[in-house]
Structure 1
Amino acid sequence: MGAFETLEPEDPRQVGRYRIVARLGSGGMGQVYLARSPGRRLLAVKVVRPELARDDEFRRRFAREVAAAKRVNGAFTAVVVDADPDGSPAWLATVYVPGVPLNEAVAAHGPWAARSVLALGAGLAEALEAIHAAGVVHRDLKPSNVLLAADGPRVIDFGISAAADASVLTRTGSVIGTPGFMSPEQLVGQPIGPASDVFALGSVLAYVATGVGPFGRGAPHALHYRAVHEQPDLAPLPPEVRDIVAACLAKQPHRRPALAALLDWLTTMDGSNEAPTLRLSEPGWMPDSIARLVREHTSAPLLHTPPPALPGTPPETPRPVPGTPASVRPSAASQPPAEPPGPTVAPEPKAHPAPAPAGEQHEPVPRPSVGETHSAEQRTDPATPSPGHPSGRRPRLSRRLVLLGLSGTALTAATVLIAWETRDSGTPSTDPAPEPGGKSSPDGAPGTRRWSFATGSGVDSSPSVAEGIVYVGSNDGKLYAVDAGTGRQRWAFPTDDHVGSSPTVANGVVYVGSQDTKVYAVDAITGRQRWAFPTTASVYSSPVVADGIVYVGSGVKLYAIEADTGKQRWASSLDGLAASTPMVVGGIVYAGTSFQLCAVDADTGKQRWAFPTSGGASSSAAVAGGVVYVAGWEGKLYAVEADTGKQRWTFSTSGRVYSSPTVADGVVYVGGMDHKLYAVGADTGKPRWTLSAGSEVSSSPTVADGVVYVGSTGGKLYAVKADTGELRWAFSAGAALISSPVVAHGVVYVGSRDKKLYAVYA
């Protein structure tokens, strides 16, 4: 359960005619407050962020959305009661619902029985009917946007959705949607309509019935790929619910049921044949444990209204009341089952202080062979040095890029905030096929496999190489240490969920984040845990280590953690999801979020500046020559001055970008979902060359010895001449490559969705 947060000195005490009482939450669009009207009615007031409010086009869109949202008047919606799109600041007020968020209820008490799932589904379907009748498409229906009250659910946050007839205005806005609940048409950039909300409704019902979304758990890009290309896992669903969910999750919008038909279906299966308003107003529609939770919550004392402040007297701040959630949740906060990455540039810096002594051992660990080399191998281009040390996800910043939570290479790796994979349908392949059993290629010719190592699930994590060992995470929940020469396992360290973060190695310790909401420090030789740091959300960002501090993003926070002890130095709240891999250069941490690029002081966690990108910073940042390079969701590559946050130039691709940029020898390399790899002048933003990859490039490129290495969702690993864009060779893996390659001692290491880690001769 969340609690009211006391007001900060910078928070307003009055918005419009409403007195602000407490903080309820924050999101990409702004801060949400609990407020009282002059008649003492409780409201949830969302105040728009200043940088968005300064955008004229955003204001026009916001005004149009507010006008549409005011037309919504359903029994199961949190009604918009007032707004001022032209105000300073702009704001929106809805009825405050003292309910329990659905995601928190399921997380605390587990899945629901079929009858309760059907009753909930009927209420949500009626809510969507009211929303659609007003010409609004929600676009972000998810468990955290559903509040449970005694008399039924309430759908919230539709006030930030675009009106159905104004979708053209969304092109410059923030990306709306949550991994695991977004429809295929949302993910591939096609027009969306009411059927998209039906898809999300099916995902919500599957989540409530099983405790996990229909496309499982994983990094955002993995969830997106499954939603677009794979069938959902509906086997765990109760039979009464399974067919309904399956119909809602049809890939083609026209094959999904209309809401009226769906409502009839839900009430018939429920056996009540009553209108949802009647059915949900009776006791027993929720599980007993949830009903008790709701009663406890609604009976909790509410905050009193602070009296008007006298001149020169600071306003009174409210006392926190445990268990009181917001009636309007920030749409940017990712909820189960997933949350979502970034780029990097220069070579890996030297390792920093070693962590504390080893703790418990998790699996048998073979010792390294005698005489093995112990010199850390960098995955960056020696010509592009960079001040900070790269790392992966969670509470640390790393230069290594993580694709949607996967880190790339120190020199080139890039991470993507949201990415999905699609098969290469038309590129002919003359590459040598992977050999059974992972045997080495006899001649060691470039582009041939040296060995492959099988894990228990897809490998979206980008590998790290140090002292003759390759470290990589897998969706089976384990961090693996693999001998770089033979491909044999040294040890495997288990976490409690998918490891989408890429590992970072420093001073004999491997740092990695997991979707179990922890960042781990693991002894690089033994595989024993040194410490585990708990965060508030899944960790897709790859940790970065600099000056003995681990920097990593999780949820809407950027963490600084002592590398040797695992103790928190600071946690900085950011606007938007901090899923990209941070970059540390010159005492500044650069982190992309789902809404902007931020520069944060590495010592204090204080924000220096923020640069808004189109649709959010979908990648990790790369820093070189006093310039920060970052990709935006809507297909733009930005160059921003590192000290001021001012834009130098932008380069537009012909599609969305999930790949993180890599900088080497005055050129920025970045992949696109338009099937292309781009080389762009770092000073001018002018294109140097473009390579057609035949399928989406969501892997982040790596540059070594004048060659660019990058993977595609068609399962190809490409080696391209950095100066001309000429293809040197292409290696075919068994499935999509989202992992960013790393190069060490003439071998390229990359993970694949076919559950394998590959070693390929460079």
Structure 2
Amino acid sequence: MFEALEAGDPRQVGRYRIVARLGAGGMGRVYLGRTPGGRAVAVKVVRSELAEDEEFRRRFAREVAAARRVNGAFTAGVVDADPAGSPAWLATVYVPGLSLGEAVAAHGPWPLEPVLALAAGLAEGLEVIHAAGVVHRDLKPSNVLLAADGPRVIDFGISLASEASVLTRTGVMPGTPGFMSPEQLTARPVGPACDVFALGAVLTFTATGAGPFGAGSVHAVNFRTVYEEPDLAALPAALRAVVARCLTKDPAERPSPAELLDQLAESAGGSRAVPVVLTEADWMPEAVARTVQLRTTTPSPESRPVLAGASDPQPQRDTPVPPRQIPAEQDHADAQPRKTSPETTPVVGPRAYAHSPRRVPEPSTAAATGPTGVSRRRALLGLAGAVTAGGLGVAGWYFVKGDGRKPRWTSANGGSNYGTPLVFGGAVYVSGREAFLYALDAATGRQRWKFSTVEDAEAPSSLAMSGGLVYACGGKRLYAVDMATGEQRWSFPTSEKVYSPAATDGLVYVSSDAYLYAVNAADGKQRWKFRTDATAFRAAPTVADGVVYVGRISDGMLCALDAGTGEQRWKSDVGIVSWAQPVVADGVVYCTTSSERLFAVDAASGKPKWDFASGRGGPVAVSGGVVYVSGGKLLYALDAATGSKRWVFPVGGALSAPAVADGVVYVATASDDKYLYAVAAASGEQRWRFPTHDAASTPVVANGLVYVSTFGRLYAVPV
């Protein structure tokens, strides 16, 4: 639930003893603190570079003074602060709850009655905030915490006292795209009505899982917010009229929070009162209530700090359980964690999705039983304000690069040439700079062995394994190396350069500049070969249910071959298949083409089902009925059945193949911004990002870690 304190973390802030980390945001880091009497508080410590900015200090002092005036049942108020301190800090009421954004991502959209209850609580919270002369200006799902006795509006970090002038910073726009009002986006005067507009967007997100102005680039969402009408067709009729008034372009026509409470009562069919009594967790959907109860009852660290690497007993830190998609029509009460088998195939790049729609952790890191939901640690990060909603962009005041997330370990031995790691049996196998192949301990990063070829071949870009052997391509040879010892078992020579192997059922399949070869895994003898004329083809073949799927350059066909004999079953004219590996899931083959389109093809017949203009034929992953495809600088989530767009997540560089694990999509950028991103699979909301400082490989998730390699370095980053 809590992160251990590290060397640079304070142990005392003001009168509060710091005992654990809660999270990080654009302004700084948030800690769990204890008063001398033992009361828990959330202490936000401002980053030193911001605190040294005199303009920021003036604004921060003003914001603290304004936030101190807010004290209501549905807010988490400021209890103490020192804007002039070194460092500057503020302490707020500690709410051990789940953020609204995480709740929707984990359990799906809410039914009407819980949405009405939420709306009433938030409206009353805004009523108190506005009565204190404060405008929040950044109401969004991640700034709403859910507790048994109602929601809490949190994080006044960019709130403004309504009578004060606006202080601005170059390039900083307070607010979050998709939840900002038109007047915020057009630099018109901003007042309490902007919070009512944001409330309408929050309610739409809660009831439908999407914002009222769609997804896409920040500019596109902002344009629709200012000039187009919201899409409210999916809202229940009883809620649609309420939300429509909130989202009116003219702030003068929006209801006040008091008027909104009256209208909500009419929609609920009662008098002006909260639709359900907010004293028990049953005001929320049952699955959400169970998760909130779990967060609330989990013990927090006592007054002694939790220290990284301490040898004495510490509170148990459980493995995060990120959200997974649950169909809207499914009874949330029936949502339980899926049981996993310890006997799994290895996790390696996008190939892991050819046989299973989700990744399975190794037995030692299986998630604890209990209500399915997001990481307990992430449930406490509402005060951090670093998560964006709906994948619509980075929240305002997000100055820091990354969010302070630190790798469990790094290794300078592995990680060259974009080599995608392979993780299995407590070891990480990866290509290297000084040796052809390395085996590292998955928990510590310590080297187990290294393997070099006689021919001094360049490092492989991807690996495969089967039967205790790891397979790698170097130059014009396919190598089989013992996974335990690093000794070569055999090598298979070809007359062309070979790339990207796949292995299953006693055969290894490898693409070359001219052929697809099938090689016996036991002795390296050729079983068959199929001509692909793949002078530009680099993707590994995909093997599923006794069929090999591979592209052929000569006639631009996607081919399905019998895995045992190499005989062609069908070919589909989708165009020249790109370098990205095809993916097979639920009887459908997904592949991208050089014409920058993604095709969904029936695996039995080869007939196209739908296609999508992905913009750059990038890699694909499939999980839970959703297709995730990297297209240039955009990560798309598409409905697997129809190809319709669910959300779009923009980044600052070309994307690697996505990896999906337990409701989170991990993707790395190979240029420009150079980050590893964690994105909520259901909503497209950014969870965190980690700077890789160089072009990165496809991420691989196992053991509660994300493994990603760059030129000369391999990172193991906590999920």
* TM range, smaller chain: 0.5 to 0.7
Check whether the contact 1:137–1:193 (CA below 8 A) recurs between aligned residues.
Answer: yes
The alignment status of 1:320 with 2:324, answered yes or no, reads no
Equivalent positions of 1:494-573 (< 5 A) are 502-503=631-632, 513-515=635-637, 532-534=658-660, 543-544=669-670, 552-553=676-677, 555=686, 556-558=688-690, 560=692, 566-567=699-700
Query: Which amino acid letter does the alignment assign opposite residue 329 of structure 1?
Result: L
Match 1:208 to one of 198, 203, 206: 206
The alignment status of 1:359 with 2:542, answered yes or no, reads yes
In structure 1, what is the equivalent of residue 652 of structure 2?
none
Partner of 2:3, secondary structure, is coil
Equivalent positions of 1:15-30 (< 5 A) are 15-30=13-28
Query: Which amino acid letter does the alignment assign opposite residue 144 of structure 1?
Result: S
In the alignment, the residues of structure 1 paired with residue 132 and residue 629 of structure 2 have an alpha-carbon distance, to the nearest angstrom, of 40
Partner of 1:170, secondary structure, is coil
In the alignment, the residues of structure 1 paired with residue 663 and residue 184 of structure 2 have an alpha-carbon distance, to the nearest angstrom, of 24
Cα distance change, pair 180–538 in 1 and its aligned pair in 2 (3 A) = farther
Shift of 1:302: 1.8
Cα distance change, pair 157–363 in 1 and its aligned pair in 2 (3 A) = farther
In the alignment, the residues of structure 2 paired with residue 17 and residue 294 of structure 1 have an alpha-carbon distance, to the nearest angstrom, of 29
Check whether the contact 2:618–2:629 (CA below 8 A) recurs between aligned residues.
Answer: no
Cα distance change, pair 563–368 in 1 and its aligned pair in 2 (3 A) = farther
Calculate the aligned-residue CA RMSD, in Å. 4.7
Cα distance change, pair 501–66 in 1 and its aligned pair in 2 (3 A) = farther
Cα distance change, pair 215–337 in 1 and its aligned pair in 2 (3 A) = farther
Shift of 1:336: 2.8
Deviations along 1:298-319, whole A, 9 cap, x unmatched? Answer: 222222221699xxx9999754
Cα distance change, pair 244–605 in 1 and its aligned pair in 2 (3 A) = same
Match 1:332 to one of 371, 376, 386: 386
Check whether the contact 1:477–1:497 (CA below 8 A) recurs between aligned residues.
Answer: no
In the alignment, the residues of structure 1 paired with residue 224 and residue 26 of structure 2 have an alpha-carbon distance, to the nearest angstrom, of 25
Shift of 1:236: 1.0
Equivalent positions of 1:666-677 (< 5 A) are none
Check whether the contact 1:234–1:242 (CA below 8 A) recurs between aligned residues.
Answer: yes
In structure 2, what is the equivalent of residue 267 of structure 1?
265
Check whether the contact 2:669–2:676 (CA below 8 A) recurs between aligned residues.
Answer: yes
Cα distance change, pair 94–493 in 1 and its aligned pair in 2 (3 A) = closer
Cα distance change, pair 105–261 in 1 and its aligned pair in 2 (3 A) = same
Shift of 1:171: 4.1
Check whether the contact 1:111–1:209 (CA below 8 A) recurs between aligned residues.
Answer: yes
The alignment status of 1:296 with 2:294, answered yes or no, reads yes
In the alignment, the residues of structure 1 paired with residue 670 and residue 233 of structure 2 have an alpha-carbon distance, to the nearest angstrom, of 39
Check whether the contact 1:58–1:173 (CA below 8 A) recurs between aligned residues.
Answer: no
In the alignment, the residues of structure 1 paired with residue 284 and residue 242 of structure 2 have an alpha-carbon distance, to the nearest angstrom, of 19
In structure 2, what is the equivalent of residue 144 of structure 1?
142
Query: Which amino acid letter does the alignment assign opposite residue 10 of structure 1?
Result: G
Check whether the contact 1:515–1:539 (CA below 8 A) recurs between aligned residues.
Answer: no
Check whether the contact 2:618–2:657 (CA below 8 A) recurs between aligned residues.
Answer: no
In the alignment, the residues of structure 1 paired with residue 648 and residue 125 of structure 2 have an alpha-carbon distance, to the nearest angstrom, of 36
Query: Which amino acid letter does the alignment assign opposite residue 155 of structure 2?
Result: D
In structure 1, what is the equivalent of residue 425 of structure 2?
none
Cα distance change, pair 326–538 in 1 and its aligned pair in 2 (3 A) = closer
In structure 2, what is the equivalent of residue 55 of structure 1?
53
Cα distance change, pair 559–371 in 1 and its aligned pair in 2 (3 A) = same
In structure 2, what is the equivalent of residue 704 of structure 1?
none
In the alignment, the residues of structure 1 paired with residue 548 and residue 80 of structure 2 have an alpha-carbon distance, to the nearest angstrom, of 58
Query: Which amino acid letter does the alignment assign opposite residue 317 of structure 2?
Result: P
Check whether the contact 2:658–2:666 (CA below 8 A) recurs between aligned residues.
Answer: no
Deviations along 1:541-585, whole A, 9 cap, x unmatched? Answer: 983269xx986555431365997775489x999xxxxxxxxxx9x
In the alignment, the residues of structure 2 paired with residue 288 and residue 371 of structure 1 have an alpha-carbon distance, to the nearest angstrom, of 51
In the alignment, the residues of structure 2 paired with residue 308 and residue 479 of structure 1 have an alpha-carbon distance, to the nearest angstrom, of 49
Check whether the contact 1:359–1:530 (CA below 8 A) recurs between aligned residues.
Answer: no
Partner of 2:33, secondary structure, is strand
Check whether the contact 1:500–1:514 (CA below 8 A) recurs between aligned residues.
Answer: yes
In the alignment, the residues of structure 2 paired with residue 306 and residue 155 of structure 1 have an alpha-carbon distance, to the nearest angstrom, of 29
Cα distance change, pair 268–277 in 1 and its aligned pair in 2 (3 A) = closer
In the alignment, the residues of structure 2 paired with residue 4 and residue 307 of structure 1 have an alpha-carbon distance, to the nearest angstrom, of 11
Equivalent positions of 1:331-410 (< 5 A) are 331-340=385-394, 354-355=461-462, 356=500, 357-359=540-542, 367-369=552-554
Shift of 1:339: 3.6
In the alignment, the residues of structure 2 paired with residue 182 and residue 126 of structure 1 have an alpha-carbon distance, to the nearest angstrom, of 20
Shift of 1:123: 0.7
The alignment status of 1:38 with 2:36, answered yes or no, reads yes
Cα distance change, pair 481–199 in 1 and its aligned pair in 2 (3 A) = closer
Query: Which amino acid letter does the alignment assign opposite residue 62 of structure 1?
Result: F
Partner of 1:45, secondary structure, is strand
Deviations along 1:636-685, whole A, 9 cap, x unmatched? Answer: xxxxxxxxxxxxxxxxxxxxxxxxxxxxxxxxxxxxxxxxxxxxxxxxxx
Check whether the contact 1:497–1:514 (CA below 8 A) recurs between aligned residues.
Answer: no
Match 1:85 to one of 83, 86, 89: 83
In structure 2, what is the equivalent of residue 222 of structure 1?
220
Check whether the contact 1:502–1:542 (CA below 8 A) recurs between aligned residues.
Answer: no
Deviations along 1:128-186, whole A, 9 cap, x unmatched? Answer: 11111122111111111111111111110024422222342134584322232111222
In structure 1, what is the equivalent of residue 285 of structure 2?
287
TM-score by length of 2: 0.54
Check whether the contact 1:43–1:93 (CA below 8 A) recurs between aligned residues.
Answer: yes
Partner of 1:139, secondary structure, is coil
Deviations along 1:171-229, whole A, 9 cap, x unmatched? Answer: 45843222321112222332221111111100111111122222233333332222222
Is the deviation greater in 109-118 or in 82-91?
109-118
Partner of 2:167, secondary structure, is helix
**How many residues of Structure 1 are paired with residues of Structure 2 in the alignment?**
448
Deviations along 1:272-329, whole A, 9 cap, x unmatched? Answer: 42544983236642223322322232222222221699xxx99997543673532643
Match 1:153 to one of 127, 151, 154: 151
Equivalent positions of 1:50-129 (< 5 A) are 50-129=48-127
Structure 1, unmatched stretches of 5+, are 342-349, 373-467, 485-489, 505-511, 520-528, 574-583, 588-601, 607-762
Check whether the contact 2:261–2:272 (CA below 8 A) recurs between aligned residues.
Answer: no
In structure 1, what is the equivalent of residue 590 of structure 2?
none
Shift of 1:51: 0.4
Equivalent positions of 1:9-20 (< 5 A) are 9-20=7-18
Deviations along 1:11-42, whole A, 9 cap, x unmatched? Answer: 11111110111111111000011111111111
Structure 2, unmatched stretches of 5+, are 321-375, 396-416, 420-459, 463-499, 501-539, 558-592, 600-608, 639-646, 650-654, 679-685
Cα distance change, pair 55–279 in 1 and its aligned pair in 2 (3 A) = same
Shift of 1:479: 6.3
Query: Which amino acid letter does the alignment assign opposite residue 166 of structure 2?
Result: V
In the alignment, the residues of structure 2 paired with residue 17 and residue 130 of structure 1 have an alpha-carbon distance, to the nearest angstrom, of 28
Q: Which has the larger radius of gyration?
A: 2
Shift of 1:64: 0.4
The alignment status of 1:471 with 2:596, answered yes or no, reads yes
In structure 1, what is the equivalent of residue 357 of structure 2?
none
Query: Which amino acid letter does the alignment assign opposite residue 76 of structure 1?
Result: F
Partner of 1:166, secondary structure, is coil
Cα distance change, pair 469–74 in 1 and its aligned pair in 2 (3 A) = same
Cα distance change, pair 364–206 in 1 and its aligned pair in 2 (3 A) = farther
TM-score by length of 1: 0.51
Query: Which amino acid letter does the alignment assign opposite residue 97 of structure 1?
Result: V
Query: Which amino acid letter does the alignment assign opposite residue 338 of structure 1?
Result: L
Equivalent positions of 1:427-442 (< 5 A) are none
Check whether the contact 1:513–1:543 (CA below 8 A) recurs between aligned residues.
Answer: no
In the alignment, the residues of structure 2 paired with residue 518 and residue 337 of structure 1 have an alpha-carbon distance, to the nearest angstrom, of 6
